[in-house]
Amino acid sequence: AQTVTQSQPEMSVQEAETVTLSCTYDTSESDYYLFWYKQPPSRQMILVIRQEAYKQQNATENRFSVNFQKAAKSFSLKISDSQLGDAAMYFCAYRRGNNDMRFGAGTRLTVKP
Amino acid sequence: NAGVTQTPKFRILKIGQSMTLQCAQDMNHNYMYWYRQDPGMGLKLIYYSVGAGITDKGEVPNGYNVSRSTTEDFPLRLELAAPSQTSVYFCASSYGLAADTQYFGPGTRLTVL
Protein backbone atom coordinates (compact mmCIF):
# COMPACT_ATOMS: atom_id res chain seq x y z
CA ALA A 1 0.00 0.00 0.00
CA GLN A 2 1.12 3.50 -0.74
CA THR A 3 2.05 5.57 2.27
CA VAL A 4 2.81 9.24 2.65
CA THR A 5 5.02 10.48 5.48
CA GLN A 6 5.37 14.01 6.73
CA SER A 7 8.12 13.95 9.34
CA GLN A 8 7.57 17.49 10.66
CA PRO A 9 4.43 17.74 12.80
CA GLU A 10 5.05 21.46 13.31
CA MET A 11 7.11 24.14 11.62
CA SER A 12 7.57 27.81 12.28
CA VAL A 13 8.75 30.63 10.01
CA GLN A 14 9.26 34.34 10.34
CA GLU A 15 7.12 36.51 8.10
CA ALA A 16 8.85 37.21 4.75
CA GLU A 17 11.24 34.29 5.26
CA THR A 18 11.34 30.96 3.42
CA VAL A 19 10.30 27.60 4.82
CA THR A 20 10.44 24.06 3.43
CA LEU A 21 8.00 21.33 4.38
CA SER A 22 9.09 17.73 3.85
CA CYS A 23 7.19 14.79 2.41
CA THR A 24 8.24 11.31 1.44
CA TYR A 25 6.12 8.58 -0.06
CA ASP A 26 6.35 4.92 -0.81
CA THR A 27 5.20 3.45 -4.10
CA SER A 28 6.19 0.90 -6.69
CA GLU A 29 4.36 2.78 -9.43
CA SER A 30 6.03 5.00 -12.01
CA ASP A 31 3.01 7.07 -13.01
CA TYR A 32 1.29 9.03 -10.27
CA TYR A 33 0.51 12.51 -9.00
CA LEU A 34 1.57 14.41 -5.93
CA PHE A 35 -0.24 17.28 -4.26
CA TRP A 36 0.13 19.77 -1.45
CA TYR A 37 -3.11 20.88 0.20
CA LYS A 38 -3.53 23.69 2.70
CA GLN A 39 -6.10 23.48 5.50
CA PRO A 40 -6.61 26.77 7.37
CA PRO A 41 -8.61 26.94 10.61
CA SER A 42 -11.79 27.12 8.52
CA ARG A 43 -11.11 23.43 7.70
CA GLN A 44 -11.51 24.04 3.99
CA MET A 45 -9.02 21.98 1.98
CA ILE A 46 -7.32 24.12 -0.66
CA LEU A 47 -5.01 22.82 -3.38
CA VAL A 48 -1.65 24.59 -3.25
CA ILE A 49 0.33 22.82 -5.95
CA ARG A 50 0.51 19.52 -7.83
CA GLN A 51 3.22 17.58 -9.62
CA GLU A 52 2.96 14.89 -12.27
CA ALA A 53 5.53 12.15 -11.68
CA TYR A 54 6.39 11.91 -15.36
CA LYS A 55 7.47 15.56 -15.41
CA GLN A 56 11.02 16.24 -14.33
CA GLN A 57 10.46 19.97 -14.00
CA ASN A 58 9.46 21.06 -10.53
CA ALA A 59 6.03 22.70 -10.28
CA THR A 60 5.77 26.34 -9.24
CA GLU A 61 2.77 28.45 -8.24
CA ASN A 62 3.72 32.01 -7.35
CA ARG A 63 5.45 31.82 -3.93
CA PHE A 64 5.03 28.05 -3.72
CA SER A 65 7.39 25.60 -5.36
CA VAL A 66 8.27 21.96 -4.95
CA ASN A 67 11.46 19.94 -4.99
CA PHE A 68 10.46 16.64 -6.55
CA GLN A 69 13.05 13.88 -6.29
CA LYS A 70 11.48 10.83 -7.92
CA ALA A 71 14.27 8.38 -7.22
CA ALA A 72 14.34 9.39 -3.57
CA LYS A 73 10.51 9.50 -3.42
CA SER A 74 10.65 12.95 -1.90
CA PHE A 75 8.30 15.86 -2.52
CA SER A 76 9.04 18.95 -0.44
CA LEU A 77 7.15 22.25 -0.53
CA LYS A 78 8.98 25.55 -0.37
CA ILE A 79 7.11 28.68 0.63
CA SER A 80 8.94 31.89 -0.17
CA ASP A 81 8.23 35.32 1.32
CA SER A 82 5.96 33.74 3.94
CA GLN A 83 2.80 35.64 4.81
CA LEU A 84 0.59 35.52 7.87
CA GLY A 85 -2.13 34.00 5.71
CA ASP A 86 0.09 31.00 5.00
CA ALA A 87 -0.43 29.75 8.55
CA ALA A 88 -2.32 26.46 8.26
CA MET A 89 -2.01 22.69 8.23
CA TYR A 90 -0.31 21.45 5.10
CA PHE A 91 -0.98 17.99 3.76
CA CYS A 92 1.04 16.11 1.21
CA ALA A 93 -0.97 13.67 -0.90
CA TYR A 94 -0.30 10.93 -3.43
CA ARG A 95 -2.66 9.76 -6.10
CA ARG A 96 -2.45 6.92 -8.56
CA GLY A 97 -5.12 6.49 -11.17
CA ASN A 98 -8.52 8.06 -10.73
CA ASN A 99 -9.39 6.99 -7.26
CA ASP A 100 -6.81 6.28 -4.62
CA MET A 101 -5.70 9.48 -2.88
CA ARG A 102 -3.47 9.01 0.17
CA PHE A 103 -2.68 11.84 2.57
CA GLY A 104 0.13 12.37 5.05
CA ALA A 105 -0.58 13.30 8.66
CA GLY A 106 0.11 16.97 8.03
CA THR A 107 2.49 19.71 9.13
CA ARG A 108 1.21 22.65 11.13
CA LEU A 109 2.87 25.84 9.90
CA THR A 110 3.03 28.88 12.15
CA VAL A 111 4.03 32.25 10.70
CA LYS A 112 5.50 34.73 13.18
CA PRO A 113 5.06 38.46 12.54
CA ASN B 1 -21.77 28.50 -8.25
CA ALA B 2 -21.69 27.09 -4.71
CA GLY B 3 -19.04 24.42 -5.36
CA VAL B 4 -19.31 21.52 -2.91
CA THR B 5 -21.82 21.86 -0.11
CA GLN B 6 -22.25 19.63 2.93
CA THR B 7 -24.97 19.39 5.54
CA PRO B 8 -25.08 19.38 8.48
CA LYS B 9 -21.98 21.24 9.73
CA PHE B 10 -22.12 19.64 13.16
CA ARG B 11 -23.93 16.66 14.59
CA ILE B 12 -23.92 14.66 17.79
CA LEU B 13 -25.16 11.08 17.63
CA LYS B 14 -25.77 8.49 20.27
CA ILE B 15 -24.22 5.05 19.89
CA GLY B 16 -26.37 2.91 17.63
CA GLN B 17 -28.15 5.79 15.90
CA SER B 18 -28.03 6.24 12.15
CA MET B 19 -27.74 9.32 9.99
CA THR B 20 -27.03 10.52 6.49
CA LEU B 21 -24.45 13.16 5.65
CA GLN B 22 -25.46 15.11 2.60
CA CYS B 23 -23.11 16.27 -0.14
CA ALA B 24 -23.91 18.14 -3.33
CA GLN B 25 -21.85 19.74 -6.07
CA ASP B 26 -22.91 22.05 -8.87
CA MET B 27 -19.81 21.79 -11.07
CA ASN B 28 -21.04 18.82 -13.11
CA HIS B 29 -18.14 16.73 -11.84
CA ASN B 30 -18.14 13.03 -12.57
CA TYR B 31 -16.09 11.98 -9.55
CA MET B 32 -17.14 12.40 -5.95
CA TYR B 33 -15.43 11.28 -2.75
CA TRP B 34 -15.99 10.91 0.95
CA TYR B 35 -13.09 11.28 3.38
CA ARG B 36 -12.78 11.24 7.13
CA GLN B 37 -10.19 13.17 9.08
CA ASP B 38 -9.38 12.01 12.60
CA PRO B 39 -7.69 14.40 15.04
CA GLY B 40 -4.07 15.06 14.10
CA MET B 41 -4.30 12.88 11.00
CA GLY B 42 -4.61 13.26 7.28
CA LEU B 43 -7.70 12.41 5.31
CA LYS B 44 -8.65 8.82 4.59
CA LEU B 45 -10.88 7.83 1.69
CA ILE B 46 -14.12 6.11 2.68
CA TYR B 47 -15.95 5.73 -0.63
CA TYR B 48 -15.84 7.27 -4.04
CA SER B 49 -18.02 7.41 -7.13
CA VAL B 50 -17.02 7.76 -10.78
CA GLY B 51 -20.53 8.63 -11.93
CA ALA B 52 -24.22 8.21 -11.19
CA GLY B 53 -24.96 4.65 -10.20
CA ILE B 54 -21.29 3.69 -9.71
CA THR B 55 -19.58 3.59 -6.33
CA ASP B 56 -16.57 1.82 -4.89
CA LYS B 57 -14.82 1.36 -1.56
CA GLY B 58 -11.87 3.38 -0.44
CA GLU B 59 -9.40 2.75 2.35
CA VAL B 60 -11.84 2.76 5.33
CA PRO B 61 -15.37 1.78 4.16
CA ASN B 62 -16.55 -0.30 7.13
CA GLY B 63 -19.60 1.11 8.88
CA TYR B 64 -20.62 3.32 5.96
CA ASN B 65 -22.76 3.12 2.85
CA VAL B 66 -23.15 5.39 -0.13
CA SER B 67 -25.35 5.81 -3.15
CA ARG B 68 -25.16 8.03 -6.20
CA SER B 69 -28.46 8.42 -7.99
CA THR B 70 -27.61 11.77 -9.60
CA THR B 71 -24.44 13.51 -10.76
CA GLU B 72 -24.92 16.25 -8.17
CA ASP B 73 -25.54 14.30 -4.96
CA PHE B 74 -23.47 11.79 -3.03
CA PRO B 75 -24.89 11.04 0.44
CA LEU B 76 -22.96 9.07 3.04
CA ARG B 77 -24.96 6.83 5.36
CA LEU B 78 -23.78 5.83 8.83
CA GLU B 79 -25.55 2.80 10.24
CA LEU B 80 -25.29 1.93 13.93
CA ALA B 81 -22.97 4.79 14.86
CA ALA B 82 -19.94 3.93 17.00
CA PRO B 83 -17.52 6.19 18.94
CA SER B 84 -14.80 5.22 16.44
CA GLN B 85 -16.76 7.14 13.81
CA THR B 86 -16.24 10.42 15.65
CA SER B 87 -14.41 12.46 13.04
CA VAL B 88 -14.65 15.30 10.56
CA TYR B 89 -16.11 14.17 7.25
CA PHE B 90 -15.21 15.83 3.98
CA CYS B 91 -16.90 15.44 0.65
CA ALA B 92 -14.96 16.29 -2.51
CA SER B 93 -15.47 16.24 -6.25
CA SER B 94 -13.36 16.38 -9.36
CA TYR B 95 -13.95 16.26 -13.08
CA GLY B 96 -12.32 12.89 -13.35
CA LEU B 97 -8.71 12.74 -14.33
CA ALA B 98 -6.11 11.75 -11.79
CA ALA B 99 -4.36 15.11 -12.01
CA ASP B 100 -7.57 17.04 -11.57
CA THR B 101 -8.00 19.25 -8.56
CA GLN B 102 -10.34 17.84 -5.96
CA TYR B 103 -12.70 20.48 -4.64
CA PHE B 104 -13.61 19.99 -1.02
CA GLY B 105 -16.68 20.87 0.95
CA PRO B 106 -16.42 22.62 4.35
CA GLY B 107 -16.73 19.39 6.32
CA THR B 108 -19.13 17.90 8.86
CA ARG B 109 -17.95 17.44 12.43
CA LEU B 110 -19.57 14.31 13.84
CA THR B 111 -19.39 13.22 17.45
CA VAL B 112 -20.70 9.84 18.59
CA LEU B 113 -21.32 9.54 22.33
pLDDT digits (tens, 9 = 90+) for B42-75: 899 999 999 999 999 988 999 999 999 999 999 9
pLDDT tens string A6-52: 999 999 999 999 999 999 999 988 889 999 999 998 888 899 999 99
Q: Identify which of A35, A23, A24, A28 has the alpha carbon closest to the alpha carbon of residue A1.
A: A28
Cβ neighbors of A85 (< 8 A, separation 6 or more) are: none
User: Is the pLDDT score of B98 beyond 90?
Assistant: no
Min mean pLDDT across A73-77, A103-107, B32-36, B101-105 is at B101-105
Residue B43: its chain A contacts at CB < 8 A? 45, 91, 93, 101, 103
Nearest to A100 by CA among B50, B62, B106, B103: B50
Q: What is the mean pLDDT of chain A?
A: 92
Q: What's the pLDDT score for residue B105?
A: 93
User: Is residue B17 very low, low, confident or very high in pLDDT (cuts 50, 70, 90)?
Assistant: very high
Confidence of residue B22 (pLDDT cuts 50, 70, 90): very high
pLDDT of residue A99: 64
Check CB contact under 8 Å for B43 and A103: yes
Neighbours of B111 (CB within 10 A): 13
Please indicate whether, in this complex, the C-beta atoms of B101 and A50 are within 8 angstroms of each other: yes
- Is the CB of A98 less than 8 angstroms away from the CB of B98? yes
Quote the CA–CA distance of B23 and A7 in Å, as a whole number: 33
B48 vs A: CB within 8 A: yes
Q: Give the Å distances, CA to CA, from A75 to A5, A49, A98, A106, B26.
A: 10, 11, 20, 13, 32
Partner-chain contact A99 B50, CB within 8 Å: yes
Does A84 reach chain B within 8 Å, measured CB to CB?
Answer: no
Task: Tell me what the mean pLDDT of segment A55-69 comes to.
Answer: 93
Chains A, B: CB contacts within 8 A come to 59
